[in-house]
Structure formats: structure tokens, C-alpha cells
Amino acid sequence: MDTVLAGVRAESHPLDPLSSTEIAAAAQIVRAGHDLGAGMRFETIVLHEPDSPAHTDRQAFVATYDVATGDLFEAIVSLTRATILRWTPRPGAKPRIAPDEFLLAEEIAKQDPRFVAALAKRGITDLSLVCSDPWSCGVFGHKDEEGRRLIQTITWVRNSPHDNQYAHPVEGLSALVDINRGEVVRIDDHGVVPVPREEANYLARFQKVWREGLKPIEVVQPEGPSFTVDGYGVEWCGWRFRVGFTPREGLVLHDLRIRDGESWRGIVKRACLAEMVVPYGHPSGVHPRKNAFDCGEYGIGVLANSLTLGCDCLGAIHYFDAVVNRIDGSAQVIANAICLHEEDCGILWKHSDFRTGDSDVRRSRRLVISFIATVGNYEYGFYWHLYLDGTIELDVKLTGIVNTAGTMQDGTTGRGTRVASGVVGHVHQHVFNVRLDMAVDGPNNTVVEVDTVADPPGPDNPWHNALSIKETPLLTEKAARRRTDPAHMRWWKIVNRERTTAIGHHPGYKLAPHSALRTPAAPGSQVGQRAGFVSHDIWVTPTRGDERWPAGDYVNQSGPGEGLPAWTEQDRPVADQPITVWHSFGHNHVVRPEDYPVQPVVHCGFMLQPFGFFDRNPTLDIPPAKSSHSCCA
């Protein structure tokens, strides 16, 4: 095992993601201890994050399964000692759908004569132009699906090799594939609808006319960026944190701290996207199965793009590679997966004194830590922003291609918007859930709900203008399942009640839920049963290393009620102790014709702003600056 030990970098920080060598070593150690045979696959090989930074044993979490039996096991592996520390069967758990399985599912479908015949019925005979996308398919209680690990392939066809297939939905046809056994369980053919053949291409190679008059805008940083990077550690203008990355969550920010005088004050111990679900609202054909959990069922990290300098990212860029496992246990390096750069962000503050003529303005800038994942037809960009005034923001950018459908049998659009002749974008939602291990000024925090309430008219409110601020500490898990309330401008504050600032506040951070949304999530729907996290805008739990996944540990074909709904039934105390805040937010997507054939970015996200954390505006020390490259046009 010397080769394994040699792979552990002596200089690695305990929170550094696993290296390629460590991933391969973890697979080797697990295989040596528990060889599952020819059908052995590796769902996840990831750093087992230590409870404390003083921990010296480097450990991996491994989820491995056998395609022959469907059995899944979890292992905790010591890389330092080359041993398996824990081996846990997880009966019934189904691994995520891996990128390695995307084209495999399509191939299996195309080899099935029933699928080929159904295509022929629609006039499609060139299989090389058929694109049958791999969709997770949920739990619908059909007898022939029991015990199987399934992928529903949903079908489009290209007119030519680089043509946009989503312009040509092959409506009503899917193959249900058992991906473990490599066989088609069933072909679902809901009836022939003519395949629209009008092209809708967006690639530059198809564009014939270009808009004129766009002069270059260049980002110039003549002295380089203001950040420094040491391994996965980053410092920038009074901020400090560590970058992490996992196959399921993608980018993780560890130990976010901000400098205040001589001290580095903590804000968030760990922040990441924890889950997301995209339910579609059309009730017939292949569409009711479309409820994709892009973290839990696919892994948003393994789908990260390699980013391009000067196109995806402008300015002085630092890239981090992402290293993830493949299902054979080897490592895959996604080069330039995480982009770190800074951006000008308009003005930070300004005031002109009309008497003295004094006028001061400061420029705002932000540090951007981002990655972009491609999930089939769709792109999600996750942009964490840090600002000079202590604000933390997550901006999720949604782009890519709407998941198109054909019209109904009678030519109507069904529950959607017609985006082209014979092509429909169904109403759907993108619901995200972030996991925030809070550590505002220390480990013990409490969430306080803040409502703005108009007081009733009366002797102490004679002019009916009185507004009160109603603060309610959320003390237990059930009490802390909360929703936004636009009538009361509701938001939440995460405070440290063990500390008091010089002007008498408990230092806190305000969670501004500006993209909260309502999801119908009827109790009988897949989302109602399997994505309970959408039913509240925030949840608060005691921070637990084994409570990571708001829709359950294994979401693919999962059962009802897992994750946040189950944990919070314990109604544990969540005040004045290490707490995790879970925030659900998203985008209600009523498709626009302008979203087609490729969707201009739409945004959703949330913000964490200091609230009584500092005693006054912490940016008076930002020096005035004037851009020497600016000129009068």
C-alpha cells in the first residue's frame, strides 16, 4: 500500500478535495476489502470532511454498488492508513445516474427493435440523428419497474449532425431502460404526433447575419487581481475562505470569514447548493415523470463545464480544476471548472453635501466564485459573490435550452407556451435548496424571524403611520419551518446571542429571500412526496455531518418524506448552538418564445447581509479610486 500512501499529499489541507491519486487509492482500498466482482461500480468517491481541522487522518467517503444485484454499500476509508474504517449496506438505495450512463441509456434504447419500430412509425430511420436523453424517472408504482434502476429516455431528432435536436421533439415516445441490467423494460408510445422539422439553430456556425456596431469592452487589471490563492485557500480584500468541490454539490465554500480590525470573524462554516428539483406541469404522455433532482439524481458537480478564458470569464482569472470519480473508480479531472475573479460592481456608496460641495463616491467590487453545469438541455451557473461591505450572495443563472415537447394529439399546446410551429415549452419550476452551516461570530447561532407590521390605529398611533418590527426567535425545528410573507416583508436574521456589539446588538446576518417561490407540490405528486424541502422557504436544523441531503441520501427513485421533513419531525432545539439554515428558492418558468431556441440567462438567488454585525458601514476604509481608462465618448 506504499503507492497509496505516496498519493496523499503531505501538504494538503484537511478540507482540500481528494486528488486524482487519492480517488484511485480509495477505490483500490475498497475493492481490496470488499470486491463486488465484475458488476462493481462507484457512485461517489469524495473527501470525508473532518469534524475538526486538527484531524490528521485523511479519509474518503465511498458509495459503491453492484449492477448485478443492485446492492449499494457505503464505506469510510482512511487513505492515511489504507484501511476501511466503516462498511455500511444501504438496502434499497439507488445510485445517481452517472455521466458514463447517459449515452449508454440511449444506446440500449436504440438497440431495442420496439424502439426502432416506434421511430419508423414516425418516419425516422437514421438512428444516428436520434437523441434520446436520459431522465431520472421517479416512482410510479408500475409492477414491471419494481426493484429496477431506471432511466426514461425522452426523444428528439436532428435534421443534420449539428442541428439543434430540441427543435424536433419526438412527442409521446420514450424507452424505459434498466440501466443496471442494460435492457429496455418497456417502450411507452403515447401515439404519433408529426415531428416538427423547422430548424431553430443558435450555434455561430448557423448564424448568417451579425448585429453590427458592438465595440470591444475589455476588462483591464494592470496590476493583476486583488486576491491571493494558496492551494484551495483564498484571501481577498478582507475576506478569507477555502474552496471545495464535490460530485453532488459542485462548489463548496468553507469557513467564510471577514476581517474586522485585527480579528477574522466567522460568518458561514460551509455553504453549498444541497439539492434542486425541476418539476414539469404537463400531466400526460412522457411528461409526468419529468421531476429532475439535478443534485441528488445526477450530481451537479460531475456535470461541471471546463470554462473558457475570455468567453466564460473576463479579467484576471484563477481557475481551480475539479476532480471527480467515474463509475469505474478512476478519477476524472474537469480542467478550469471553478472560476475565481473580481468584478467592478457600480458604486458602493456616494453622498454630496449640498452646502459644502463635498462629494465622495466609492466603487463597489465583488469577488466571484463560480461554476457552470450542463444537465442535458439546460445550463445552471452558480455564482457566489462576496462584496466589500460583508454581503454574501448566490446568483444562479439559468440558461441553455428549454426542454421542448410536441403539441398534443389534437394540435393544442397542452400546459405550455408555443415557441415554434409544433414545439411547446411546458410550464415548470426550478427549485434550489442551499445548505448553510452558519457560524456568525462563533459556533452558536439562532435564527430570528423579522416581520414589519403596521400597528392598528389608536391613541398611540393617531396618524396610522406606525410600523413595528416583530422579532420571533425560532427555537425548535418545527417552529423553524417557515415561509416568506410578502404582507409583512418577512426575512430572517441569523444571530449570535452570546455576543453583543459595542452599540448593543447581537451580531447577525440577514437572509434576504428574494427568490422565494410557491410550488404546488400536491401531496400525491412526485415533488410533494420526494421533495419536501420545497414546502418551506427556510428550515433550521442542528448541524449534523450526516444530514447533508434535504431530499434524502439517495434520491434516485427515492421514497416519500426523506431528508428535511423527516429530520425536523424530531423537533430538536435549534437555538444557541451550531445550526444549519436551509433555504429553498427558485424560478417559476412560464416559457417565453424568447427563451427559444436558446434561453437568455434568467436569475434567482438570495443574499446574506451583515445586520448589526458591524457597528457601522465597514467600507469607509475603501480608498477613492478613479479609472484612468475611462474617457468621454
Looking at the annotation, which residues are catalytic? 294, 378
Least gap, CB of 430 to Ni ion (angstroms): 6
Least gap, CB of 398 to Ni ion (angstroms): 6
* CA distances in angstroms from 410 to 139, 194, 287, 423, listed in the order given: 29, 11, 17, 13
State how far Cα 259 lies from the chain centre. Answer: 28
* CA distances in angstroms from 553 to 41, 59, 79, 406, listed in the order given: 18, 19, 23, 35
- Indicate whether 482 belongs to the interface with Ni ion (CB under 5 A): no
**Sole binder of Ni ion in the list 65, 589, 597, 613 (CB under 5 A):** 589
Considering beta carbons, is residue 510 or 589 the nearer one to Ni ion? Answer: 589
Binding mask 532-571 for Ni ion (x = CB under 5 A): ----------------------------------------
C-alpha 600/C-alpha 167 separation (Å) is: 17
Verify cis geometry, omega within 30 degrees of 0, for the bond prior to 597: yes
Considering beta carbons, is residue 124 or 604 the nearer one to Ni ion? Answer: 604
Amino acid identity of 504?
Answer: G
13 Cβ contact list (under 8 Å, min separation 6): 53, 231, 232, 233, 242
Least gap, CB of 416 to Ni ion (angstroms): 11
* CA distances in angstroms from 264 to 50, 235, 511, listed in the order given: 21, 11, 21
Considering beta carbons, is residue 257 or 589 the nearer one to Ni ion? Answer: 589
User: Contact region for Ni ion (CB under 5 A) — 120-128, 368-376, 588-596, 621-629?
Assistant: 588-596
Binding mask 180-219 for Ni ion (x = CB under 5 A): ----------------------------------------
Considering beta carbons, is residue 96 or 589 the nearer one to Ni ion? Answer: 589
User: Contact region for Ni ion (CB under 5 A) — 63-71, 110-118, 180-188, 585-593?
Assistant: 585-593
Contact 42, 329 (CB under 8 A): yes
DSSP element (H, E) containing 419: strand 416-420
Considering beta carbons, is residue 44 or 403 the nearer one to Ni ion? Answer: 403
C-alpha 473/C-alpha 89 separation (Å) is: 40
C-alpha 453/C-alpha 474 separation (Å) is: 18
Helical axes 99-110 vs 113-121, angle rounded to 10°: 70
**DSSP letter at 309?**
B
Q: Specify burial of residue 208 (Cβ count, 10 A radius: 0-12, 13-18, 19+).
A: exposed
Considering beta carbons, is residue 378 or 384 the nearer one to Ni ion? Answer: 378
Q: Specify burial of residue 238 (Cβ count, 10 A radius: 0-12, 13-18, 19+).
A: middle
Q: How many CA atoms lie within 13 A of 590 on its CB side?
A: 0
Facing residues of 238 across strands? none
Considering beta carbons, is residue 136 or 180 the nearer one to Ni ion? Answer: 136
- Indicate whether 282 belongs to the interface with Ni ion (CB under 5 A): no
SS3 (DSSP) at 524: coil
User: Contact region for Ni ion (CB under 5 A) — 75-83, 199-207, 230-238, 586-594?
Assistant: 586-594
User: Contact region for Ni ion (CB under 5 A) — 69-77, 184-192, 513-521, 583-591?
Assistant: 583-591
- Indicate whether 48 belongs to the interface with Ni ion (CB under 5 A): no
Considering beta carbons, is residue 36 or 276 the nearer one to Ni ion? Answer: 276
Considering beta carbons, is residue 403 or 558 the nearer one to Ni ion? Answer: 403
User: Contact region for Ni ion (CB under 5 A) — 61-69, 187-195, 320-328, 582-590?
Assistant: 582-590
SS3 (DSSP) at 415: coil
- Indicate whether 287 belongs to the interface with Ni ion (CB under 5 A): no
**Dihedral pair phi/psi, residue 615, rounded to 5°:** -85, -15
User: Contact region for Ni ion (CB under 5 A) — 16-24, 155-163, 365-373, 587-595?
Assistant: 587-595
Amino acid identity of 340?
Answer: L
C-alpha 83/C-alpha 58 separation (Å) is: 11
Contact 270, 14 (CB under 8 A): no
Least gap, CB of 394 to Ni ion (angstroms): 18
Least gap, CB of 396 to Ni ion (angstroms): 12
- Indicate whether 290 belongs to the interface with Ni ion (CB under 5 A): no
Query: Where do runs of H (alpha helix) occur along 301-452?
Result: none
Least gap, CB of 403 to Ni ion (angstroms): 7
Least gap, CB of 230 to Ni ion (angstroms): 39
Least gap, CB of 373 to Ni ion (angstroms): 14
How many residues lie near Ni ion (CB under 5 A)?
Answer: 1
* Closest-approach residue to Ni ion (CB): 589
Least gap, CB of 278 to Ni ion (angstroms): 7
- Indicate whether 435 belongs to the interface with Ni ion (CB under 5 A): no
Give contact residues for Ni ion (rule: CB under 5 A). Answer: 589
